[in-house]
Structure 1
Amino acid sequence: MADKSKFIEYIDDALEKSKETALSHLFFTYQGIPYPVTMCTSETFRALDAFEARSDDIVLASYPKCGSNWILHIVSELVFAVSKKKYTCPEFPVLECGDAEKYQRMKLFPSPRILTTHLHYDKLPQSVFKNQAKKHFMETVESVSWGSYFDFAINWNKYIDNENVKFILYEDLKENLVVGIKEISEFLGFSLADEQIRAISAQSTFQAMRENSQETHGAIGPFLFRKGEVGDWKNLFNETQNQEMDERFKECLAGTSLGAKLNWNSVASMCPAAS
């Protein structure tokens, strides 16, 4: 995953900036979608358009707080199991976050590069599609910046059957992590023995990630890895809010390919304590 010192430094800096910024000025809009000013800039987005993707890049896409750090850890361990080289990224791992010069520095990174993003599919750089980078699409629900969860889901739904897109559901990883990791490995074209898959699974449980979160992610660790329980929404959502979410889901995703893959009763139950 990302170099932990760089990750912690970036997050600590973003947290300090947020303390100094009025709530009404914490977000800016780029191409109709709100982003946090403490992590993204218009200059970075403009530079991102010229980002040069590689055919062996691995793109991990999810809505914020939907398990992106978990899946980043899993994929990093899979790459390590194949290459025998520990994967580290000297940049903050979210593609659209950071300064505008990061993409020039990323040209020097060894392959395969693991890129995480919270962008809509059609907001990704064109080189990602041209060079057919492998893309993982992680699903669950939480409402924060980067726009509406439903807009994100509707946009990715258009490409869910693309051969270079692998759809991963948070609740499926929670239910059977070994099977989930094996499917991810096969999608990436990795040939790993069952004992390797089980070893990666043992060190990639949500509990293991949470116990190490302070060391790996600094002060924000406990926030990134909270309960991770399916069903915890009952302690946070009232009946009216749950009904509103059900109606919104039906309005936006019922009848879609993505909607058919989602068990909405379970998926909604992971909001908002998913990752």
Structure 2
Amino acid sequence: MGGAGTYKPTGKNDRAVLLEMIHSTTNTSAEDLLFSYKGMLYPSILCSLETFQALETFEAREDDLLVATYPKNGTNWLIQILCEIVSLVHHREPLPDATMIEFGSPEILARFKDRPSPRILSTHLDFKNIPKSFFEKKVKILLVLRNPKDTAVSFYQFHNSLPALPSYNSWATFFKDFTNGTVVYGQYFDFVATWEKHFDEKTMMAITFEEMKLDFPSAVKKISEFFQFSLTEEQIHLVANRTTFNSMKEKSENTHGKLGDSFFRKGEIGDWKNYFTEDQSKVVDTMFEKYLAGTKLGKMLNYDKYCKF
């Protein structure tokens, strides 16, 4: 069911282990890079049946910090922001192990129990597959969104640069899979619409990639206040300066090894215009109208501003 379920733990931190697993997949066939669980595709190198089963009994803590995102919506960026905030507030070194809860072996998942509070956790899982204890403990969840067209382009480039995912010969082929939902973690619009349906303003907050790019210090303040961290203006700007996208990209070789450029490519708004045909654009426009038009999360995406030629 994939390398993640059979990997033997080493003395390395969990992120280093996962990056090593990704980098060792160069000879794996495209078909073997994916596996299906409950009707959803996942990367078999990083996810396994055994880990998904272990997640069903995962014990969340009330003070956990959970970041939920569709792939390529700013996951690593948010993790680093939270690492910097927590290190300032709790006077500890930023932890390098803030990996996806669904990544790795059950042994890696079990080691989450040893992490000091507050734990910074992240996931690409859709709402219905989040472990129940997160909702029972009323854990605060930060949902990060990015406009669907830039998401698609970034995801396409990710497929073609990350050994753990099948590569694509053409943008047109990937676009078809993206809109059909036959990519890992399923269809973008399904993901966002399901979160919209269950969005609880008491325990959840949504923020957009675009909002963060346009006024980053304000976004850092908003994130810290949601998680009930009191930062001074000086600390807010310190975190912002340490975690700009360009700063993250410059440090990516240290944080993500040889795969740094895969995780931090451009981080631009509007790159989709270099890839989408007019017909493809209309397809996504129609999907937005069907799934998200008039919804709270749909409005947050500011679709007309970011997704129209």
Q: TM-score, normalization: structure 2?
A: 0.81
SS in 2 for 1:101: helix
Query: Which residue identity is paired with 1:235?
Result: N
Name which of 224, 227, 232 aligns with 2:266.
227
1:238 lines up with 2:277 in the alignment: yes
Structure 1 residue 89, shift from structure 2 partner: 4.8
Q: Secondary structure at the match of 1:116?
A: strand
Q: Which runs of 5+ in 1 are unaligned?
A: 270-275
Q: Which amino acid aligns with 1:225?
A: F
Matched position secondary structure for 2:117: coil
RMSD: 1.8
**From 10, 19, 32, the counterpart of 2:18:** 10
Contact 1:53 1:127 in 2 (8 A): yes
1:18-97 equivalences in 2 (<5 Å): 19-90=26-97, 93-97=99-103
Aligned residue in 2 for 1:272: none
On the 8 A contact 1:36/1:145 being kept in 2, the answer is: yes
Deviation at 1:65, TM superposition (A): 1.3
Equivalent of residue 241 in structure 2, options 202, 218, 221: 202
1:137-159 deviations in whole A, cap 9, x for unaligned? 00013344111111111111123
1:107-161 deviations in Å (ceiling 9; x for gaps): 1111000101000122111111111111000001334411111111111112334
Distance 1:149-1:134 versus aligned 2 partners, 3 A rule: same
Aligned length: 265
CA contact (8 A) 1:94 1:117 kept: yes
Counterpart AA for 2:211: D
Q: Distance in 1 between matches of 2:259 and 2:125?
A: 22
**AA matched with 1:116:** S
Deviation at 1:20, TM superposition (A): 2.6
What's the counterpart of residue 109 of structure 1? 115
Matched-pair contact (CA < 8 Å) for 2:70–2:124: yes
Task: Determine the C-alpha separation between the residues in 1 that align with 2:12 and 2:304.
Answer: 36
Query: Following the alignment from structure 2 to structure 1, what is the Cα–Cα distance between the partners of residues 12 and 248?
Result: 14
Moved more, 152-161 or 117-126: 152-161
Distance (whole Å) between structure 1 residues aligned to residue 120 and residue 268 of structure 2: 27
Q: Contact 2:14/2:108 (CA < 8 Å) preserved in 1? A: no
Structure 2: stretches of 5+ with no match in the other structure: 1-10, 153-177
Find runs of 4+ consecutive structure 1 residues off by over 3 angstroms. 3-6, 265-269
- Corresponding residue SS for 1:35: strand
Q: Write the distance in 2 (CA, Å) between the matches of 1:259 and 1:155.
A: 12
| 2: CA distance, partners of 1:193 / 1:4 | 35
Q: Alignment identity in percent?
A: 39
Q: Structure 1 residues 266 and 229, CA, compared in 2 at 3 Å: closer, same or farther?
A: farther
Q: Are the equivalent residues in 2 in contact too, given 1:230–1:266 (CA < 8 A)?
A: no
